[in-house]
């Protein structure tokens, strides 16, 4: 087991740039710090610093150890802050990762029930790729991930998939495309400008297969990681775009667009991914229970 006091001395020297500055910051003699770092290097079997003139420079191993030390002491600081908040405040911290393929409106509707609990909730929401978020879940930096699919088997991340539900897909368009789009849906999509989610979203392959099945070849104007940005382009009349049918009416109101058609053949699924097989956190239970009320569980 690594001696974390030795690791902390190394971390401070790396951050301060020299043993002298680190000793002033820690109020410990330079000789003590130097000796502790030597013990850490001996335990690891690798040098962590090289002398460059009067200065110290991290070795390749030193850079790697520093990256781990950053994670360790960041978590320590977060732990201290969480304990301090918990001792003085009833507010419950809920750290949620939102896969960047999840529409913002869906994310809000899924998380909103937690706000109605008697215990006040403070959200910390992070948006990133599912792979990145799963890494943070594994390090216990997140309590929950909202995603459009289960944990990919090839990642080997330990966690549990909780199916929230699914819905069909609606095709939306700005007024300049509505009349043509509604004429003979879905054949009316042929030749129309189209905006699609990027391959970061699991829905893209379903959409492309559906278009191919119906022999529809729209003019794809753009692919978007951020589906909120895709809606903004759609609002401007740049092209037809898709949304989960569960939020079609609110998207129509918010972006001044209309539904030109829908299908149940393209299914958007939603999952809550957590480290617990049986959910016990009241906020997470509220989120999963409420989802059953407005998402289908076929």
User: Coil, strand, or helix at residue 187?
Assistant: helix
Q: Is the sign of the CA dihedral 274, 275, 278, 280 positive or negative?
A: negative
Give the Cα separation of 184 and 181 in Å (integer).
Answer: 7
pLDDT digits (tens, 9 = 90+) for 225-256: 989 999 999 999 999 999 999 999 999 999 99
Residue 115 or 258, more confident: 258
Q: Binning pLDDT at 50, 70 and 90, where does residue 86 land?
A: low
pLDDT per position as a tens digit, 253-285:
999 999 999 999 999 999 999 988 888 888 999
Least confident of 57-71, 149-163, 186-200: 149-163
Rounded average pLDDT over 155-184:
91
Asked if residue 298 has pLDDT above 70, the reply is no
Q: If you average pLDDT over residues 52-80, what whole number do you get?
A: 87
Give CA separation, 242 vs 9, 193, 258, 264, 270, in Å: 54, 12, 11, 13, 16
pTM comes to 0.67
Beta bridge partners of 268: 167
Is the pLDDT at 33 greater than 80, yes or no? yes
Q: At what angle are helices 19-26 and 4-16 packed, to 10 degrees?
A: 120
- 293: pLDDT confidence band, cut at 50, 70 and 90? confident
Burial of 214 (0-12, 13-18, 19+ CB in 10 A): middle
């Amino acid at each position: 087991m690594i001696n974390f006091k030795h690791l902390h001395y190394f971390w401070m020297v790396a951050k301060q740039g020299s043993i002298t500055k680190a000793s002033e910051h820690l109020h410990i003699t330079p000789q003590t710090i130097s000796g502790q770092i030597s013990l850490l290097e001996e335990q690891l079997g690798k040098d962590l610093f090289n002398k460059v003139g009067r200065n110290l420079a991290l070795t390749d191993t030193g850079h790697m150890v520093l990256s781990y030390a950053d994670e360790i002491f960041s978590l320590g600081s977060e732990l201290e802050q969480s304990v301090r908040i918990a001792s003085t405040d009833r507010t419950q911290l809920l750290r949620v990762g939102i896969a960047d393929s999840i529409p913002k409106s869906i994310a809000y509707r899924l998380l909103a029930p937690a706000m109605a609990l008697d215990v006040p909730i403070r959200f910390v929401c992070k948006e990133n790729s599912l792979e990145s978020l799963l890494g943070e879940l594994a390090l216990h930096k997140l309590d929950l991930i909202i995603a459009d699919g289960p944990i990919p088997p090839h990642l080997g991340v330990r966690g549990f998939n909780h199916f929230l539900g699914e819905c069909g897909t609606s095709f939306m368009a700005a007024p300049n495309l509505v009349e043509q789009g509604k004429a003979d849906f879905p054949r009316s999509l042929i030749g129309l400008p189209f905006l699609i989610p990027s391959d970061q979203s699991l829905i893209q392959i379903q959409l492309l297969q559906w278009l191919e099945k119906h022999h529809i070849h729209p003019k794809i104007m753009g692919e978007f990681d951020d589906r909120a940005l895709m809606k903004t382009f759609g609002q401007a009349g740049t092209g037809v775009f898709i949304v989960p049918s569960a939020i079609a009416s609110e998207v129509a109101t918010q972006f001044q667009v209309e539904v030109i058609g829908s299908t149940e053949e393209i299914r958007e699924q939603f999952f809550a991914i957590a480290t617990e097989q049986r959910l016990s956190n009241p906020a997470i239970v509220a989120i999963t229970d409420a989802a059953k009320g407005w998402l289908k569980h076929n």
